[in-house]
Chains A and B, each alone.
Chain A
């Protein structure tokens, strides 16, 4: 699977971009070239391009039945899901879905609930999904994205920033390497990425994430892994004020 987001939709976090070292000959540059390369390399591929904001591509062959790749589009929300959810029946009941719902539908419904009603914070919603998974969701109405992996990153998932500052995500490391050169890294486990708030950890939602530059086998700086910084805490949502304060200003 492959997902490409423009800068306005997904701002790649700092530290992911490494200074350009000099690309390889078979590097692929640009959205169209990358999609074309994907269609050539994978058999039975499907490419979806949503204007300039986003492009998704996937091919369902060569996936193990235990960690399948699913794609669904409902109500202008596009979701690519790879992996397996263990508490599937419990989530179906929680979100009120029918027996025909698969993992991608559940993720779309969870995102829709989060977007429209917001009963729980986003990190709680992702923590509620147990299993080995990685998913990429794009909401065409608000042009925003939601990307997450599980706490142990059971599915190989990589992301990178290419020369035009597009965010590229894929489970195929060669594809990301070709598009991003050295500016790529495995997606940090236990984290999720949204358009509005960027990268957050859902295991420790109140702590900031610190980029740790990683060095590949050739000794060059290659993207960054993100670790939870147990020292710094994000400013808490509830400000301390006196009893005469007006809470509606916080919305």
Chain B
């Protein structure tokens, strides 16, 4: 699984970028086209890639008959929303009922697209609630071609390995294959923080503790060089929501404050 988004589409956090390696071999970041080409070389059979003119590319190695249902890779494209899903959802049937889909032709990728579409169009629940409702070990990346936004999340148990990094020209690369990321991003990569979701507009947020901000902690790899950053929930810093004011306050300026 591989997803590449250019800088204009997805704004990755700055701390992922580690361009200068102190000592050791300096690995340079690759261009998105080269990363895609390497991915195809790595998975020659049953792999496909979709490239969008807005500056995004998605590639998947296709259904592997050897892999168990716990680690399946699904790709789905409906109504200009594309989703790669890895893993499984335990409460799939109750979610299918909740979103009003028909059971026999809905797999996890179709459901996640429907959940994203409901969130985008009607927004009955906040995003962290929607992702918290998905029970299982999973990782998914959604690309919305109509709006041009990216939505990625990883379940809190972190059983599915997911990595993200920054390639040449600031494009974000998300993949479950660490070799692809290492080859493409040099030192500017890190494991995707479990229990978190990333949206191109909203940035990185934890869906377990949505009211707390995320803090980047620099990580050093085995060669002793700076290599991206771990993101952890900062239990002290909270995202400001409703300001505490007296009863005489004027609430009409609340919109601008947010």
Contact = CB atoms under 8 A, between A and B. Distances in A.
A97 interface: yes
B105 A47 contact: no
Contact of A48 (B50, B54, B114): B50
A199 B114 CA distance: 37
A75 B110 CA distance: 9
A105 B102 CA distance: 12
Contact of A46 (B52, B74, B75): B52
Interface string B44-80: 1111111111100000001100000000001111111
Given A51-B46, A75-B107, A43 B78 contact: no
Interface in B78-115: 78-80, 82, 100-102, 104-105, 107, 110, 114
B49 to A, nearest CB: 6
Contact of B78 (A45, A46, A74): A74
B145 interface: yes
A203 interface: no
Interface string A66-84: 0000011111100000000
B102 A97 contact: yes
Contact of A73 (B40, B75, B104, B145): B75
Interface in A94-122: 96-100, 102, 105, 109, 112
A112 B74 CA distance: 17
B62 A72 contact: no
B53 A46 contact: yes
A48 B49 contact: yes
A51 B78 contact: no
A4 to B, nearest CB: 13
Interface in A113-143: 140-141
A225 interface: no
B48 A48 contact: yes
A44 interface: yes
A76 B73 CA distance: 11
Contact of B101 (A44, A49, A72, A98): A98
A47 B105 CA distance: 25
A74 to B, nearest CB: 6
Contacts of A46: 50-53, 145
A141 B46 CA distance: 8
A39 interface: yes
Contact of A98 (B53, B63, B76, B102): B102
B105 A74 contact: yes
B50 A47 contact: yes
Interface in B135-165: 145
Contacts of A48: 48-51
A194 interface: no
B235 to A, nearest CB: 41
Contacts of A76: 62-63, 75
B150 to A, nearest CB: 15
Contact of B104 (A45, A59, A96): A96
A44, A100, A141 — most chain B CB neighbours (10 Å): A100
Contact of A60 (B62, B80, B102): B80
Given A102-B79, A141-B63, A97 B46 contact: no
Given A39-B53, A100-B100, 20 more contacts: A44-B53, A44-B54, A45-B52, A46-B53, A49-B48, A49-B51, A50-B48, A51-B46, A71-B77, A73-B78, A74-B105, A74-B107, A74-B110, A76-B62, A96-B104, A98-B101, A105-B78, A109-B105, A140-B62, A141-B63
5 contacts: A39-B51, A48-B49, A76-B75, A102-B79, A105-B78
Interface of A: 39, 43-51, 59-60, 71-76, 96-100, 102, 105, 109, 112, 140-141
3 closest cross-chain pairs (CB), A and B: A73-B77, A50-B48, A48-B50
